[in-house]
Structure 1
Amino acid sequence: MTVVYYMQVSFLDISIELINVLKKHVQLHVLIELTPHGKNLTVLEIEKFPERKTLVTPEEILTKRCYENLKPYFNGTASVHFVMHPHRTGFSYSTLQASFDTWKYIKQFKPDILHFETFGLRTVGMLFYLKAFRNVCITIHDPVPHTGEDSWKVTLPRTFMFGMPGKKKYMFYSQFAKQQFEEHYKKQKQHKTVLQMSPYSFLKNLVKSKDQVQKKYILFFGRLSPYKGIDDLLNAMPAVFREFPNEHLVIAGKTVHGFDIDGEVTSKYRDNITILDKHIPNEELAMLIQEAKFIVCPYKDATQSGVLMTAFGLNTPVIATNVGSFPEFIRENVNGLLVPPNNPEKLAEGICFALRNDHYKVLAQNINSTQAEEMWEGNTEILLKAYAS
């Protein structure tokens, strides 16, 4: 079976896990949609953004260090290319040109399956050519946009993709996402499959020391966006600092356009709170997670979380709000804690509970990241059955 796996670069962290196992079972051609904005997203480190080229290989654009880290995942695939979109806007003449060049490249393989790991405005350019494919799979990460992130740039591609004629199959990474999709898109009766999200292994491979590491702080990491509940986290921290005056919170990630962190709490507790408002390189992120006592995900809403699986990949427990699919993966007081959303008081109670008598160490012992590849192999079996159906 020949599969073309087309993804947006922002989902590369989860995609490389699937690539790593799927390549053993099919002839896998990987296409990664890359934009100037996306060159420092997720696990990538870009050396240069080439001009006047649509399809480029990883070794042409990645830093040497990044290429060596990703090489084990890409080895064994039939091909891997980045699809270059030089224009900053989501739809332009260059978008159409890139789609045409990509189509010419794809059709020579005569793939059995064309699998989109989500999609966006730039993917719409591919619709002109999809009628030639009998089997198109689409992974839906967020059936409903997160708070503060809905716009025509999200709804327009969905209108086109969901209305596309022909046989489609939908993939999800949680039961919650599948149910949410079914509630909001009742007319979409096509085949639907759930792949169980499992711990990510990539950052674990970058950890320099496997020895016992000193746990130093509470960590929030990822995009700083309205739906992430950072305001609730900051409002919870004064109660935490009253009981644990020497505790420290690190917030690490790039702020999205239009979102600002309230400086009242951070100014009052400047010795207890550190804000790293920047893109966090892979090695630094691995170290931050490794040295964290636990991760906090105080989200107002969620579907499934790559942050959760990244944390679990480094055996770090998570305190999360009881939203989205968090309850599917966090077993209460086993590998993490669940608290009500939009409730700083309950969030503070959960954080203090994890800190008392170093209870977070007990939670960490119950995380099993050693069988991550085995879990992803299970997902591949599910995926192959869906491809063949």
Structure 2
Amino acid sequence: MKVVFLSTFAFDANISLINALKNKCDIYFFTEALYEIDNYLDKNKLSEFLSVGTDVQEIQRFSELIPLDKTFVIKGTRQINVVKKLYNSYRIDKKIREINPDLIILDSHLITYFFTAFRYSKKSLLIVHDPFFHSGENFKADILLRKLYFSLVENKILLNKNQKNDFINHYKQDSNKIFTSFLSVYEYLTFYGGINDKKNTSFNVLFFGRISPYKGVKYFLDACVEIIESGQYPNISFTVAGSGDFDFDITKYYNYSQIKIINKFIQPEELSQFIKSSSVVVCPYVDATQSGVVMSCFAFKKPVIATNVGGLPEMVEDGKTGVIIEPKSTESIKEAIFKLYENPQILEQMSENIAQEYLYGEKSWSQSGEYFIDAINSIIKK
């Protein structure tokens, strides 16, 4: 069985998923070098429109996870250049026809793979990362492209079960063509320096990721201020790291030495160090689907405080791999931080639980890959 995986992201979940699938099918991987923020690939270093993975230095470190000789990096073009984008889509489709796959996996709804999505519409599986748009992020171009791809590609797979029925009802989908799987750990980050099992000498609470209104960063920062001003926990520090525009005034938070705000794009080497140096990570989201942030933390066995929204409770098991709290609640964030700070044995047990469940157990990539294989077989039989 020959499968082509079409992605706009080179790392995060995809290389681990490909690693889980490669022993069950003959898999080819296409990814686009466009914005470094997406996949850390510099398109200006590419001499060809399509470069084989063995010739792209940035991804050679992942040779044990993905087949580099069957990996192709596209020298990307911005969405605004529609004519060139469509021409490039035609060129990519021509290469894919040479491979002659039994099935296509798509992880996005961009123009890059439009011709292939059209040609293989009944033999494709679209990964729907965000079944519903996040607060403040329903951009017109995304809405149009999503509608286009949802109409083209009949078979879709969600990465959480919680939203399956709502998705089917909202978009009027055929329930027999909607599948589910789940995210597992973002192990690509561990290739940047490896996992550090040293115990932290201080207690650091970390928020990281793209800054956006739905992330609830203000609730976290307000909790930080209240903890600091109480004067009871002088050795707790707080870090907010990520690019994007804050939707509130952050000036006052710079007055606290225990709060570190790094408002820039975080390279994987830096992110790896931030997570390793943290004691616990906070996801104070107002709404969510699943979260790559959680999976990045779990790769380093770090527990997560997450809100009870979207698919997060599927990923973070309350009391076992982290703490689930109510959204939009500064008080709930404080209580969760206090609980873990005052009970280091709980943190240690949560870390062990993460390893058992996500690295070796029921929520590993091996198990996630089985759900994908079941979906692929079902589509091919039809």
> Please, what TM-score do these two structures have when normalized by structure 1?
0.88
Alpha carbon RMSD of aligned pairs, Å? 2.4
- For the structure 1 residues 40 and 298, does the alpha-carbon distance in structure 2 shift closer, same or farther, using more than 3 Å as the test? same
| Correspondence for 1:112 | 102
Q: Any idea what SS the aligned residue of 1:299 has?
A: coil
- For the structure 1 residues 160 and 361, does the alpha-carbon distance in structure 2 shift closer, same or farther, using more than 3 Å as the test? same
1:366 Cα shift?
2.4
1:213 Cα shift?
3.6
Match of 1:74 among 66, 72, 75: 66
- For the structure 1 residues 204 and 111, does the alpha-carbon distance in structure 2 shift closer, same or farther, using more than 3 Å as the test? same
| Correspondence for 2:322 | 336
| Correspondence for 1:40 | 37
Match of 1:295 among 274, 281, 287: 281
- For the structure 1 residues 200 and 69, does the alpha-carbon distance in structure 2 shift closer, same or farther, using more than 3 Å as the test? same
Contact 2:307–2:324, Cα closer than 8 Å, also in 1: yes
Tell me how far apart the structure 1 counterparts of residues 254 and 262 of structure 2 sit (CA, whole Å): 15
- For the structure 1 residues 209 and 307, does the alpha-carbon distance in structure 2 shift closer, same or farther, using more than 3 Å as the test? closer
Residue 252, structure 1, aligned to residue 241, structure 2: yes
| Correspondence for 2:74 | 83
Contact 1:227–1:300, Cα closer than 8 Å, also in 2: yes
Tell me how far apart the structure 2 counterparts of residues 265 and 121 of structure 1 sit (CA, whole Å): 42
1:211 Cα shift?
4.5
Match of 1:138 among 123, 126, 131: 126
Tell me how far apart the structure 2 counterparts of residues 206 and 145 of structure 1 sit (CA, whole Å): 31
- For the structure 1 residues 213 and 281, does the alpha-carbon distance in structure 2 shift closer, same or farther, using more than 3 Å as the test? farther
Contact 1:172–1:194, Cα closer than 8 Å, also in 2: yes
Contact 1:144–1:180, Cα closer than 8 Å, also in 2: no
Q: Any idea what SS the aligned residue of 1:254 has?
A: coil
Match of 1:273 among 231, 252, 259: 259
| Correspondence for 1:222 | 209
Equivalence map 1:1-389=2 (5 Å): 1-9=1-9, 12-35=11-34, 38-42=35-39, 44-46=40-42, 48-50=44-46, 53-60=48-55, 62=56, 64=57, 66-75=58-67, 79-86=70-77, 88-124=78-114, 126-127=116-117, 130-131=118-119, 134-164=122-152, 168-208=154-194, 210-214=196-200, 216=202, 217-241=204-228, 242=230, 243-255=232-244, 258-260=245-247, 262-269=249-256, 271-358=257-344, 359-368=346-355, 369-371=358-360, 375-389=364-378
Q: Any idea what SS the aligned residue of 2:364 has?
A: helix
1:6 Cα shift?
0.3
Tell me how far apart the structure 2 counterparts of residues 379 and 46 of structure 1 sit (CA, whole Å): 30
Unaligned runs of 5+ in 2: none
| 1:323-360 superposed Cα distances (whole Å, 9 cap, x missing partner) | 11111122212210011101112111111222114343
Tell me how far apart the structure 1 counterparts of residues 210 and 70 of structure 2 sit (CA, whole Å): 30
Tell me how far apart the structure 2 counterparts of residues 12 and 307 of structure 1 sit (CA, whole Å): 13
Tell me how far apart the structure 2 counterparts of residues 384 and 355 of structure 1 sit (CA, whole Å): 42
Tell me how far apart the structure 2 counterparts of residues 288 and 251 of structure 1 sit (CA, whole Å): 10
Structure 2 counterpart of 1:371, one-letter code: Y
- For the structure 1 residues 181 and 310, does the alpha-carbon distance in structure 2 shift closer, same or farther, using more than 3 Å as the test? same
Unaligned runs of 5+ in 1: none
Tell me how far apart the structure 2 counterparts of residues 319 and 99 of structure 1 sit (CA, whole Å): 41
Q: Any idea what SS the aligned residue of 1:171 has?
A: strand
Identity level (%): 27
Contact 1:83–1:98, Cα closer than 8 Å, also in 2: no
- For the structure 1 residues 346 and 373, does the alpha-carbon distance in structure 2 shift closer, same or farther, using more than 3 Å as the test? closer
Q: Which moved more, 1:326-335 or 1:205-214?
A: 205-214
Q: Any idea what SS the aligned residue of 1:240 has?
A: helix
1:296 Cα shift?
0.4
- For the structure 1 residues 231 and 211, does the alpha-carbon distance in structure 2 shift closer, same or farther, using more than 3 Å as the test? closer
Contact 1:40–1:46, Cα closer than 8 Å, also in 2: no
Tell me how far apart the structure 1 counterparts of residues 28 and 219 of structure 2 sit (CA, whole Å): 43
Q: Any idea what SS the aligned residue of 2:84 has?
A: helix
1:262 Cα shift?
2.4
Tell me how far apart the structure 1 counterparts of residues 96 and 362 of structure 2 sit (CA, whole Å): 28
Give the number of equivalent residue pairs: 372
1:385 Cα shift?
2.0
Structure 2 counterpart of 1:160, one-letter code: L
Tell me how far apart the structure 2 counterparts of residues 111 and 344 of structure 1 sit (CA, whole Å): 50
**Where do 4+ consecutive residues of structure 1 move more than 6 Å?**
none
- For the structure 1 residues 240 and 174, does the alpha-carbon distance in structure 2 shift closer, same or farther, using more than 3 Å as the test? same
> Please, what TM-score do these two structures have when normalized by structure 2?
0.89
